[in-house]
Chains A and B, each alone.
Chain A
Amino acid sequence: MWRHVWLIAANGLRRSLRDRSILIQAIVAPILIAVVVGAAFGSGFSLNVTVGIKDADGSDISEQIAQGLTGAGGDGIAFSSVDADADAALDSGAYDAVIVLPAGLSDAVLSGEPAQLDVVGEAKDPLAQSVAESVAAGIAANLQTARVTAVAATSAGVDAGPAIQRAVTATPPLTVEQGEVTGTFSVMAYFAPGVAMLFLFFIIGNGARSIIEERREGTLPRILAAPVSPASVLLGKTVGVLIVGIVSMTLVWLITWLGFGAYWGDPIGVFLVIVAAVVAIAGISLLITGLARTENQADALTTIIALLFAVAGGTFFYGASGVLSDLRLFTPNGQALAAFVNLAAAQADVVEVLPQILLLTGIGVGCAAVGLVALRNKVLT
């Protein structure tokens, strides 16, 4: 029996190798799409906000604040002083938002009158505006600290000068340190497996449909006329599509990893997730083929389900929130992608992605069992 299984599988493999569409879908398309995305977003996350400081007050206090800020800043945020008025500064494009220390600020602060800082941003860049707003809130809090200290000192009958000095130079009770997260993640390691799985549905679906095709063309009855059991035929076809799927996805992995430097994570884990994903996709394809009445119906159903799973599974969206982030876990593509992301970006080992491997394999085996029973009836009738 095993010789028959292998012969039928090998025949399927030979036919796949001859078909140029399979080469395009299985290898070229996933790599091409991943490389395009990689080229578009290869530089990764970046943020640059320039906040202008406009000192319209001209007092010692406002000057101190402005100087203190322009010396601060850091990775992704820069402060610099503005001479023109805030609107003109924003129009010039040199600033993303401006903090204005209005005229009379220090007098108001010192006298305990209502005082305010102004932040001017652009409607089209709400992020920069929020950043400036947050910085201004910090300045306002420091000014408030100084004047609360001054008023409290006066009412308690102590010398306000040294107290204010102490208050403004005190380090906040919480200090901040900066650490680094090591290891990088390439968006290619997200899109390559995602797109590869989409096209696997087409390729494996084709392979599964070849059973119906052979019945239509009359080759299947001839095979069955030989001493070959229907089980061997079905098993041979299944082994054939599994090998095509595993080999093609493994090639996509190796080429994007070794050729384009997109690290997918722990190799053992990656390979097992690839196998589990292919098993799931093959199982679903066998189920569709088994339940469909005609070849055309199977073809249409496979395409529609493949596209729906891909869309809902997050194949085309990187890091979505909302409906999609919940929806994707209901698709095999989404589960496999979650496992790939954990391996590559969370540096998980194979044990941590075992739940997904088991789930995908379970889906595959379960669907395949039902599909193969249905197909067996088709083969026999």
Chain B
Amino acid sequence: MRAVLATARTEWVRYFRDRIAMFTTLALPVVLVLLIGLSFGQSAERLPVGMLQSDPGPLGTSLVAELEDSPAIDVQQYTDRNEMYRDIRMGLVAGGVEVPADGEPVQIYVQQASTGAGVVVSTVNSAAAQISTRATAIDALSEQIPTQKARAAVDQAMADIPAVEVATRAIGAVNEMDENRFASAVPSQLMLFTFLNGLLGAAALVQARQLGVFQRTLATPHGLGVYLSGLGLSRFLIAILQAVILLGLGVLWFGINLGDPVAVTALVLIYSVIAAAAGMLLGGVVRTPGQAVAVAVPAGIVMGMLGGCMWPLSVVGTTMQRIGHLTPQAWAMDSWNAIINEGAGIGGIAGYLAVLVGFAVVLSALAVWALGRHARTGR
């Protein structure tokens, strides 16, 4: 056991002597969480819609004001038609409204594939109805009496009668992850970076392989098993360190309600084993440190994307969800959703944890096999 700890300590020191490792382990995840939290607001409450004003008259100006107050759409002003078209094509706004001079029709622009047009049309019509009460009533009366008299009667009536109100009420509760942007950013970046760093740890392993460290351990009285245990332990502890930093930051600074501590601890422990084992496996199969980095970064990013660390899997189709669940990230994110949003305890995520334990066992076995084969054959 002393030998395992001594190995782990050496490997830990060696890992953090690498400034890139220090940066990607400690600084980058924090920077990313901050950027994501500050750059993306709460989940969409209003549909972003572009607006282009081409010399609107009094009616058009009232319509613009009404649309800006609309609960359904978030009006974004454009002065350049091409820029509005660009953002419609990119889906950054659901559509565009062009308010022309009074008398000309209001134009709504959407992309063929997009399906937000109905909402925009309803909202514009609704806003038009709201600004036209007085004009319509005066118009209706002036058929029978002089306009002047109609105007006075309508103004009097409008002062006397209360407006027809709309009362809104919502049922159910908002998910913690939807309400607090950091509550989704912290766990997803943690899962992304724990795994990515685990993989990046492969570079140092390949160096050790090139130096013949593995073969030499065969000559020591402790053997390869002790060395691999110590190595794995150091990688595991690095993953834990990252989790402590990010989760601590999330709870203390961003006020995330993480949920059941037992479930969180179990998830972090198992996932850390997965990350450590994946890195050791990669370190056992690639040939040069450069190759390890070249594989680790894209693999970590792609698995993070597939597994729901870059965006929630609920927004992609079922095929992509199924493919995503080939990665441990997806099962870990399912667990976080259950823990944070639904208040699940260890029992509630037992199914997900079982799958993750499966990943941990298989990856560890493969890593031991790959590194063991290297130690014996030198390949």
Please give the residue numbers on chain A whose beta carbons come within 8 Å of chain B beta carbons, in ascending order.
19-22, 24-25, 28-29, 32-33, 36-37, 39-41, 43-49, 72-78, 87, 90, 109, 112-124, 126-127, 129-131, 133-145, 147-149, 151-153, 155-156, 158-159, 162-164, 166-167, 170, 172-185, 190, 195, 199, 202, 206, 299-300, 303-304, 307-308, 311-312, 316-325, 327, 341-342, 345-348
Contact = CB atoms under 8 A, between A and B. Distances in A.
B305 A112 contact: no
B110 A75 contact: yes
B159 to A, nearest CB: 10
B129 A179 contact: no
Given A43-B317, A117-B166, A345-B89, A77 B122 contact: yes
Interface of B: 18-20, 23-24, 28, 31-32, 35-36, 38-41, 43-47, 59-60, 63, 70-73, 82-83, 85-92, 94, 96, 102, 105-119, 121-137, 139-141, 143-145, 149-150, 153-154, 156-158, 160-175, 178, 288, 290-291, 293-295, 297-298, 301-302, 305-306, 310-311, 315-317, 320
A136 B211 CA distance: 73
A45 B96 CA distance: 14
B139 A311 contact: no
7 contacts: A123-B171, A134-B71, A135-B72, A138-B129, A303-B20, A319-B90, A345-B89
B170 A178 contact: no
Nearest to A116: B165
A145 B161 CA distance: 11
Contact of A46 (B24, B114, B160, B290): B114
Contact of B39 (A129, A206, A317): A317
B211 to A, nearest CB: 16
B166 A47 contact: no
A173 B113 CA distance: 30
A127 B48 CA distance: 10
A321 B39 contact: yes
A21 to B, nearest CB: 3
A117 B163 CA distance: 11
Given A130-B45, A151-B157, A74 B121 contact: yes
A24 B140 CA distance: 72
B298 A33 contact: yes
A119 B19 CA distance: 56
A316 B315 CA distance: 17
Given A155-B157, A299-B20, A181 B126 contact: no
A114 B163 CA distance: 7
Contacts of B115: 45-48, 75-76
A179 B20 CA distance: 52
A143 B162 CA distance: 12
Contacts of B82: 346-348
A185 B89 contact: yes
Name, among A49, A131, A175, A317, the residue most crowded by chain B CB atoms within 10 Å (CB to CB). Answer: A131
Contacts of B63: 174
Given A140-B165, A319-B92, A126 B43 contact: yes
B24 A148 contact: no
Given A40-B320, A170-B136, A76 B157 contact: no
Contacts of B36: 317
A320 B154 contact: no
A148 B43 CA distance: 39
B17 to A, nearest CB: 10
Contacts of B60: 174
Instruction: Give 10 nearest A-B pairs by CB, closest first.
Output: A138-B126, A74-B118, A77-B118, A45-B91, A21-B294, A346-B86, A29-B298, A324-B39, A134-B72, A76-B115
Contacts, number: 402
Given A33-B302, A173-B131, A176-B128, 4 more contacts: A19-B290, A74-B122, A181-B110, A316-B310
Residues of B contacting A: mostly: helix
B107 to A, nearest CB: 5
A129 B229 CA distance: 55
Contacts of A46: 113-115
A327 B36 CA distance: 12
Given A117-B164, A119-B168, A177-B108, A127 B46 contact: yes
B292 to A, nearest CB: 9
Contact of B170 (A22, A120, A159): A120
B39 A325 contact: yes
A148 B59 CA distance: 20
B133 A144 contact: yes
Q: Which of A19, A138, A162 has the most CB of B within 10 A?
A: A138
B126 A137 contact: yes
Contact of A185 (B35, B90, B153): B90
Nearest to B303: A36
A178 B117 contact: yes
Given A44-B114, A300-B20, A167 B170 contact: no
A173 B59 contact: yes
A45 B112 CA distance: 11
Contact of A40 (B117, B172, B178, B311): B311
Contacts of B156: 152, 155
A323 B123 contact: no
A47 B119 contact: yes
Contacts of A176: 105-108, 121, 124-125, 128
Given A74-B117, A151-B157, A120 B320 contact: no
A153 B138 CA distance: 10
B128 A172 contact: yes
Given A120-B171, A124-B175, A131-B72, A36 B305 contact: yes
A131 B122 contact: yes
B122 A135 contact: yes
B158 A158 contact: no
A151 B32 contact: no
Contacts of A123: 170-174
B325 to A, nearest CB: 14
A178 B121 contact: yes
A24 B110 CA distance: 39
A82 B338 CA distance: 32
A281 to B, nearest CB: 16
B204 to A, nearest CB: 13
Contact of B108 (A151, A179, A316): A179
Given A25-B298, A33-B301, A133 B109 contact: no
